[in-house]
Amino acid sequence: MSMIIIMKTGATPGQIENVIARVEQRGCKTHVSKGEETTILGIIGDVRNLNFEHIERLDGVDRIVRIQRPFKLASREFHPLDTVINVDGISIGGKQVVIMGGPCAVENRQQLLQTAYAVKDAGGQILRGGAFKPRTSPYSFQGLGEEGLRILVEAREETGLAIVTEVMEPGMVSLVSEYANILQIGARNMQNYALLHAVGETKKPVLLKRGIMSTIEELLMAAEHILSHGNEQVMLCERGIRTFETYTRNTLDISAIPLLKQLSHLPVIVDPSHATGKWDLVEPVSRASVAAGADGLIIEVHPNPEEAASDGAQSLKPERFKALIQSLKPVAEAVGRTL
């Protein structure tokens, strides 16, 4: 069980410091979350050492809430307001539904720049593209590595789009952070705790993909690992899970979207490309995701899907991607969002 202390509106810095000191005297750590009006202190550690009655009577304390859920920093109780992540002036988790588009993998300069211009022209805000690819087969294209990161940066300089790209191992986090605006943790690495801790030590926004066979609680616990290492900028990504169905590559868990929004304050992004595996399902599934409350979409786009080095079957041609964004507008508006 864990615990949060909700301070009164207008509690003074001195009162807050005093509460923190009392808690830390008993061997627990505190995590301070300052909202517009109230400050909430999350207690980390063995709360059995604390005297709840005593703390509740300290000046400035409003009440103590016990959290039954295993995740705490990621929970709505702990942080009632939505987290809005600012990426180079783009707000993720606010009113606007954010669109990320680009190829599965960075293949070469021309392919990426062409796609980047298409994403920009269609109205996307963020460019995706893998430089380090987690492939099921060791014989498949593994990505261009650092050269791919340099090409992504060139595309950012040309178009102004921010970039999201995957990092696969703890030792590569600092290198990828030098180039990327958002660090992507792939589905296969959702429970790679050393990697979660490494990205948790950075100040970079993280796009955390749900594991192929992971529950919603496991996803939230993975987010908790990042948050507990000090990085509060985490986006949760529903990208489909494995079921018995084989017509689609994965099964999009549509109810995960509103459920994650209930359970957590973190932005929820949907990846309809990996969820379906089929380009012609991407558009309807994108619309459904926005209708269900997604804060953003990450979509694979390729200028020439038949020749893509990876995931061609689920990649949209630029004109289809543009048409998709247009078709999302009335859906976003119907649920009180903008595009």
Residue 149: other Cβ atoms inside 10 A? 22
Q: Closer CB to Mn ion, residue 104 or residue 151?
A: 104
34 Cβ neighbours under 8 A, 6+ residues apart: none
Judging by DSSP bridges, how do beta strands 61-67 and 2-7 pair with one another?
antiparallel
Q: Closer CB to ligand PEP, residue 142 or residue 231?
A: 142
Listed residue (44, 16, 40) closest to 30, CA to CA: 44
295 is in the binding site of which of Mn ion, ligand PEP, none (Cβ under 5 to 8 A by kind)?
Answer: none
Of the ranges 50-58, 114-122, 182-190, 314-322, which one interacts with ligand PEP (CB under 6 A)? 182-190
Least separation in angstroms between CB 104 and Mn ion = 3
274 lies in the site for ligand PEP, by CB under 6 A = yes
Least separation in angstroms between CB 310 and Mn ion = 6
265 lies in the site for ligand PEP, by CB under 6 A = no
Least separation in angstroms between CB 251 and ligand PEP = 13
Point out the residue whose Cβ comes nearest to ligand PEP: 186
Least separation in angstroms between CB 300 and Mn ion = 6
Least separation in angstroms between CB 160 and Mn ion = 24
209 lies in the site for ligand PEP, by CB under 6 A = yes
311 lies in the site for Mn ion, by CB under 5 A = yes
**Contact mark string toward Mn ion, 78..117, x via CB under 5 A:** --------------------------x-------------
Least separation in angstroms between CB 339 and Mn ion = 23
Least separation in angstroms between CB 211 and Mn ion = 15
Q: Which of 11, 73, 100, 104 binds ligand PEP (CB under 6 A)?
A: 104
Q: Closer CB to ligand PEP, residue 272 or residue 318?
A: 272
265 is in the binding site of which of Mn ion, ligand PEP, none (Cβ under 5 to 8 A by kind)?
Answer: none
Q: Which of 79, 156, 239, 320 binds ligand PEP (CB under 6 A)?
A: 239
Residue 47: other Cβ atoms inside 10 A? 16
Q: Closer CB to Mn ion, residue 60 or residue 186?
A: 186
- Residues in the interface with ligand PEP (CB under 6 A) total 10
Of the ranges 164-172, 191-199, 306-314, 329-337, which one interacts with Mn ion (CB under 5 A)? 306-314
Distance in angstroms (rounded) separating the CA atoms of residues 20 and 39: 12
Binding residues vs Mn ion (CB under 5 A):
104, 311
Binding residues vs ligand PEP (CB under 6 A):
104, 130, 134, 186-188, 209, 239, 271, 274
